[in-house]
Chains A and B, each alone.
Chain A
Amino acid sequence: MAGRTTLYGLIDRNKRNTVFFVVLFALILALAGFVLGQSMGWSAGFYVLFGLFIVVYNLVLYYNSDKLALAISGARPADPAEFRQLHNVVEEVAIAAGVPKPQVYVIETDAPNAFATGRNPQHASIAVTRGLLETMNRDELQGVVAHEMAHIRNYDILLMTVVAIIGGLLILFRDIFLRWGFWGGGGRRRSSSRSSGQFGIIVLGAALVLAILAPLIVALIRAAVSRQREYLADASGALIVRNPDGLASALTRLGNWRGKMAGASQATAHLFIASPFGKDRRETSGPFDSHPPISERVRRLRELTIP
């Protein structure tokens, strides 16, 4: 019972963190928008238009980010006849987790890996690579699917979607600023309104610093969140199927696979169960790594007692 209470405590903390990050990112975004507007000398109407654009951008991505992630990874819907066992395992674990069965996708690559995406358990997808299906036995596959199901049930997939949306926006801001705000538009505006000369320079300086730092900060936060959530998903995945051994053995196999996944992308790396770049095969992880070391994850799983 004790192990279980701590796990529920972890899930609660997970939810509080999600709120914290959403607020933090909203503030960063508002600040970035303000600096961008100041440096380009926007009128009030332009701010409203820009705000509207952000709302629409967020809504579109909120409903489509899962399709985007699946498309980037080259995932295709898994045929129920050809991938019978995979469909069966996903259905089993969904019953255990008490969530609807997610959509099932397969990625045609030799590297064993898997990820989950979506915005809530009702709109979720799990994608696994052909390499995973070929290297894992049934118990190990079940462990991997349970890990992904934990991401879905704990709403990690939503947070990752939010982080991706806002991270993308900040990079967009930076590009707009660097292209027009700093060199072009900003220069013209400044000459037309001399009164705000000093203030304009300060804002420009701040914008420049922000333009360089913001994507860096987002990358750091994304990596930290992702690392912490991998541990949590390991533990709650093991709890869902009441068996830590399948996942521990699957992770060991993932750790033994040397090499980079074909088509690996920084944009989706943090979604996968193991780093598609193979960086988590080392003994320690740095601040920009999206995954904790596999050896440490296996060690924590082996210590887990399931009630």
Chain B
Amino acid sequence: MILLIIVLAVVVLGLLFLVGTYNGLVQARNRVKNGWHQIDVQLKRRIDLIPNLVETVKGYAAHEKAIFEKVAEARAAAMGAKSPAEAAKANNVLTDTLKSLFAVVENYPDLKANQNFLALQEELTTTENKIAFARQFYNDVVMDYNNRIQMFPSNIVAGMFGFKAEEFYSVPEAEREAPKVKF
């Protein structure tokens, strides 16, 4: 009788552990998905802002054709990216070309004083910051999720139900030191 109770208690505790760990893993995986969605929203928003920005700049600096072509190319590449790694790479290129666009703008004081341009610049700055922060948050939740998958004892449950480690959203070496974007 006592043996039966002990066995039952062990089984119930085991089941509770299984359910708790499984639900924790699902929650962590959903956080990763949600984190990726956050980045994605901001990347799309930036892509939407670019045509307006380019049009405004063209009004003052129509002859700077080379830089407009570069931006258009980088934008197209970023739109076509599929996996997180691809998107990270294409968007880093886009960030760089936008920096050179803003470097060109420095030569046009009238443009820099244009209200429409200033509003676009603020929108782009906030979108860049949101991308950086969403990426930071995404990497944090990926680390938490991967830890659960690799650490004992939750790794057993993760193995049973086929939870797979997720990729980090990588940052190029040059940006590691100064993650803040400034135009």
Contacts and interface: CB of A to CB of B under 8 A. Distances in A.
B23 interface: no
B179 A92 contact: no
B139 to A, nearest CB: 11
Contact of B126 (A91, A96, A242): A91
Contacts of A142: 129
B92 interface: no
A92 B135 CA distance: 12
Residue from the set B122, B125, B126, B136 with the largest chain A CB neighbour count within 10 Å: B126
B113 to A, nearest CB: 17
A96 B180 contact: no
Interface residues of B, number: 15
Given A84-B119, A242-B179, A96 B137 contact: yes
A98 to B, nearest CB: 5
A85 interface: yes
Interface in A142-158: 142
B122 A88 contact: yes
Q: Is the interface of A mostly helix, strand, loop or mixed?
A: helix
A242 B171 CA distance: 15
A88 B126 CA distance: 6
Contact of A96 (B123, B125, B133): B133
A65 to B, nearest CB: 29
A85 B124 CA distance: 11
A95 interface: yes
B136 to A, nearest CB: 6
Contacts, number: 33
B130 A84 contact: no
A242 B119 contact: no
A89 B133 CA distance: 11
A119 to B, nearest CB: 23
Interface string B73-114: 000000000000000000000000000000000000000000
Nearest to A139: B180
Interface in B135-183: 136-137, 140, 179-180
B46 to A, nearest CB: 13
Given A242-B179, A243-B180, A92 B133 contact: yes
Contacts of B134: 95
Given A91-B130, A95-B130, A242 B136 contact: yes
Q: Which 4 A-B pairs have the closest CB atoms?
A: A96-B133, A88-B126, A92-B129, A95-B133
Interface of B: 38, 119, 122-123, 125-126, 129-130, 133-134, 136-137, 140, 179-180
